[in-house]
Structure 1
């Protein structure tokens, strides 16, 4: 089984501006430093006019995890996240991602879309499927992890808003 997550964030900036920010290695490093957790880092990065690919590492302290998650994943957790973006045309980008937790029975993957809105600004939408392969309590853990993913996406969106506002000054 899996838990599906849908997330949306809007920006007062064009999709081209938001995309350029989201795939900038300096932005990614700063975002990871602020909200990526212990041992967070940008592991790989490449970008050109057609798109971008990068691999991120996030860290979670065991003390910050809900108790139901600690029963299955004792100790600190390392999360590896791969993102791939493709430019469709001006103002429209499609992305996909996968997330792995080495040594743990959990994973996620999904799709992203960044597009200009008709009345100005842009919208980022994310659809993710979270899977935790643990008998009996896997569904409960998927729910908890889903809430954590929603929180992370919201924190990343807030950081992106802040970064874009700072760059506009």
Structure 2
């Protein structure tokens, strides 16, 4: 079973400005701070404008507030590794893993500009291969990712307005 998450983030900026923001390690650090990540390592290789950027965010979050049926699988902390491969300033393939845990998250991010607004549409497929509770965990992960995307959007709007 697979859960699909689709969410659109919007920014009052040009595509070039949003692409530059996504390539800025300071922005990625701020997103982690705003999401109360315990520890993170951010690596950005290449350039968004050149159409060959890779972003890796290796982060550890507290497992607070996670239901007991899921917490026994992840423990007190959750290590999440997000890898983005930007083939152009406007399109990325995304893969998210939780090392050592069954499941995967993969999808895309696409930036489109219209009338001074950029929409970043993120589509992710969430698969957790655990009998009986996999579907519940997929739903939980989807909810957590949606919360993280909304937080990133708030951080990005503040970043672009400064």
What is the TM-score of this pair, normalised by structure 1?
0.88
Deviations 1:114-136 (A, max 9, x none): 0111x321110000011111101
1:21-50 deviation per Cα after TM superposition (whole angstroms, max 9, x unaligned): 1111222122223325111221x2112222
Please state whether the residue corresponding to 1:40 is helix, strand or coil: strand
Measure the CA separation in 1 of the matches of 2:154 and 2:5: 18
Q: TM-score, normalised by structure 2?
A: 0.91
The residue correspondences of 1:1-169 to structure 2 (distance < 5 A) are 1-35=1-35, 37-42=37-42, 44-48=43-47, 49-87=50-88, 93-117=90-114, 119-166=115-162
Q: What is the number of residues matched between the two proteins?
A: 160
What's the CA shift string for 1:74-127, capped at 9, x where partnerless?
23110011011122xxxx61111101101111220101100111x321110000
Q: Which runs of 5+ in 1 are unaligned?
A: none
Cα distance between partner residues in 1 of 2:31 and 2:152: 7
With 20-29 and 123-132 compared, the bigger mean Cα shift is at 20-29
